[in-house]
Amino acid sequence: MTEPVVRAVGLAKGFGRGPARVTVFEDLSCEFHEGDVAAIVGPSGSGKSTLLHLLGGIDVPDAGVIELGGTRLFELDPKRRAAFRNGSIGFVFQFHHLLAEFTAVENVSLPLRLAGEGRRLSEETAREMLGRVGLSQQADRRPSEMSGGELSRAAVARALIRRPRIVLADEPTGNLDRSNADEVLSLLTELARERGAAVVLVTHDPVIARRCDKIFHLREGVLEKVDVREV
C-alpha cells in the first residue's frame, strides 16, 4: 500500500483545566490515503470537528504527531504552518465561510492570492474552477446573491483550487436538501479524486456517509472503522 497522505499518531486533546477539564480523546491514531473518501460519524460532542481541525493544523493537539506528505505539521512555526496548510489542505465548512464583500471569483481565487499569485491569473484560474462546479454564471455574484447549493459548490471550488493533498469537509451538506447534498458530494469527490486528493468529511447524514468509501465512528475517544450497514 502507498504511503498515507496524512497520518495521525497518538493524538490527545482536551479543553479546560483542573476538575472542569473535558478530555476529547487521549490516544487516537488514523491515516488516509490518496483517493480515499472517508466519512467520520458519531454523536454530537464526540470530537469529530475537533479531529478535523487537528488534521488541518487549525488547532494544536495536547500530544501526538500529525504528518502530511511526510511533513510534521506541528514542527512548523505558526507562519510556516499556515503557508503549508494553504497549499496542501482544502477546507469545506457547513457555513461556507465565503467573504460577504467578495464576489464568488474573488473568494475562490483567495488561496492563490495568499500564495502570492497575481490577481489576473488567480481570477482566471478561479473562473475555470467555478465553471467546473457549474457556477460560470454566478462568478461575479456576492454570497448574498447565491443559493445554498451555489455557496456549497463555490466552497468546493475554493477548497480544490490549489490542488491540495487532502480536503477536510465539516458537514459540507448539512444545510442542503437531498438533491443539492448529493450533487455537492459528487462534485467534491469527483474533483478531489481527479486531482489526487484524499477527502475526509464529518457528517450526521447516514445517506452521505454510505456514499463514502470508508466510514469511521468516533465515540468516547475511540475512532474505529465500521461497516456501511452499521450506519
Residue range 163-182, pLDDT digits in tens: 889 999 988 877 777 887 88
According to DSSP, the β-strands at 222-226 and 214-219 are: antiparallel
C-alpha cell recorded at residue 161: 483550487
Over the stretch 99-127, which tens digit does the pLDDT of each residue have? 999 999 999 999 999 889 999 999 999 99
According to DSSP, the β-strands at 198-202 and 166-170 are: parallel
C-alpha cell recorded at residue 155: 466552497
- Looking at the domain assignment, is residue 104 inside a domain? yes
| Class of residue 145 by CB neighbours under 10 A (exposed 0-12, middle 13-18, buried 19+) | exposed
Percent of the chain at pLDDT > 70 equals 98
**Whole-angstrom distance, CA of residue 196 vs CA of residue 169:** 16
Q: What is the pLDDT of residue 40?
A: 94
Q: What is the pLDDT of residue 189?
A: 85
**Whole-angstrom distance, CA of residue 97 vs CA of residue 143:** 10
C-alpha cell recorded at residue 213: 468509501
- Looking at the domain assignment, is residue 98 inside a domain? yes
CATH assignment of the domain containing 75: 3.40.50.300
Over the stretch 14-27, which tens digit does the pLDDT of each residue have? 988 888 888 898 89
The answer to whether 84 and 76 have CB atoms below 8 angstroms apart is yes
Q: Which domain holds residue 23?
A: 6-230
Residue 41 phi, psi dihedral angles, 5° rounding: -120, 170
- Looking at the domain assignment, is residue 128 inside a domain? yes
C-alpha cell recorded at residue 10: 497518538
**Whole-angstrom distance, CA of residue 24 vs CA of residue 12:** 8
Give just the sign of the alpha carbon dihedral 68, 71, 76, 80: negative
pTM here is 0.88
The answer to whether 73 and 67 have CB atoms below 8 angstroms apart is yes
**Whole-angstrom distance, CA of residue 11 vs CA of residue 173:** 27
Over the stretch 180-211, which tens digit does the pLDDT of each residue have? 788 888 888 888 888 888 999 999 888 889 98
- Looking at the domain assignment, is residue 1 inside a domain? no
- Give the count of domains, the chain: 1
With helix as H, strand as E and coil as C, how does the chain read? CCCCCEEEEEEEEEECCHHHCEEEEEEEEEEECCCCEEEEECCCCCCHHHHHHHHCCCCCCCEEEEEECCEEHHHCCHHHHHHHHHHHEEEEECCCCCCCCCCHHHHHHHHHHHCCCCHHHHHHHHHHHHHHCCCHHHCCCCHHHCCHHHHHHHHHHHHHCCCCCEEEEECCCCCCCHHHHHHHHHHHHHHHHHCCCEEEEECCCHHHHHCCCEEEEEECCEEEEECHHHC
